[in-house]
Amino acid sequence: MRALTQGFWHFACDLYQRDSAEHAFLWLQDNASLDVTSLLLCCWLATHYGERAEQHIESLLADASLWSQQLVRPLRRARYWYRNLPEAQQDPEFYRQLKDVELAGEKALILRLEHRAQALFGSPGTGCADVTLLAERLIHLYLAGANIRLSDEGHQQLARIVTALADDPASGC
């Protein structure tokens, strides 16, 4: 069994950087309007709280959605808008600062979700026998709740994320 001490932020950074996961997350964000934090939340909950995660997934996803809509997405839109201006080429430092503020907003959301999960579930456990199946179930609950239907390419990108999750030797029990 695995001792689960990895916080949500470190888990998210680690999963995001694995193999083709970053490309898959960004593809789903840009082409299917999925929220990367919500996808990461589903994976983290499956890994750290096992089937207990299903009890409050809707509440946590609603919190993630609200914060994403009110904080993270406006910051991202501002960064994208500025990136396409001629001034952005003249002031790359300001662009980097915009990117850092957006990342800080994402981190604040992730830390909020981690604290809420701990309040709801207590200490992380040992996950479940098949983390990938549970992560897929939680992701499908997210998709259904957000009324999102994926194309075949979208399903392929999700499969890349789940594969990246499974590639972690510590993700199983």
Q: What is the pLDDT of residues 75-101, one digit of tens each?
A: 999 999 999 988 878 888 999 999 999
Q: pTM score > 0.85 for this model? A: yes
Query: Measured between alpha carbons, how far is 66 from 44 in angstroms, rounded to an integer?
Result: 19
Kindly tell me if the per-residue pLDDT of 1 is higher than 60. Answer: no
Q: Which two tokens stand for residue 149?
A: 């239907």
Q: Is 172 contained in some domain?
A: no
Q: Is 91 contained in some domain?
A: yes
Condensed to tens digits (0 to 9), the pLDDT of residues 111-142 reads: 999 999 999 998 887 555 689 999 999 999 99
Q: Is 122 contained in some domain?
A: yes
**Whole-number pLDDT of residue 89:** 82
Kindly tell me if the per-residue pLDDT of 52 is higher than 50. Answer: yes
Q: Categorize the per-residue pLDDT at 171 as very low, low, confident or very high, splitting at 50, 70 and 90.
A: very low
Q: Is 173 contained in some domain?
A: no
**Whole-number pLDDT of residue 168:** 65
Kindly tell me if the per-residue pLDDT of 43 is higher than 70. Answer: yes
CA 18 vs CA 10, 67, 94: distances in Å: 13, 25, 28
Q: Which two tokens stand for residue 71?
A: 């904080």
Q: How many domains does the chain have?
A: 1
**Whole-number pLDDT of residue 172:** 44
CA 16 vs CA 52, 58, 145: distances in Å: 24, 23, 23
Q: Is 3 contained in some domain?
A: no
Share of the chain above pLDDT 90, in %: 80
Give the domain extent around 95. 8-166
Q: Is 162 contained in some domain?
A: yes
Kindly tell me if the per-residue pLDDT of 9 is higher than 60. Answer: yes
**Whole-number pLDDT of residue 123:** 83
* SS3 per-residue string spanning the chain: CCCCCCCHHHHHHHHHCCCCHHHHHHHHHHHHCCCHHHHHHHHHHHHHHHHHHHHCHHHHHHHHHHHHHHHHHHHHHHHHHHHCCHHHHHCHHHHHHHHHHHHHHHHHHHHHHHHHHHHHHCCCCCCCCCHHHHHHHHHHHHHHHCCCCCCHHHHHHHHHHHHHHHCCCCCCC
Kindly tell me if the per-residue pLDDT of 67 is higher than 50. Answer: yes
Kindly tell me if the per-residue pLDDT of 2 is higher than 70. Answer: no
Residues 6+ apart with CB under 8 A from 103: none
Placement of tokens 């701990």 in the chain: 118
Mean pLDDT in the chain?
90
**Whole-number pLDDT of residue 127:** 52
Query: Measured between alpha carbons, how far is 158 from 58 in angstroms, rounded to an integer?
Result: 19
**Whole-number pLDDT of residue 173:** 40
Q: Is 73 contained in some domain?
A: yes
CA 168 vs CA 19, 54, 109, 119: distances in Å: 11, 22, 24, 26
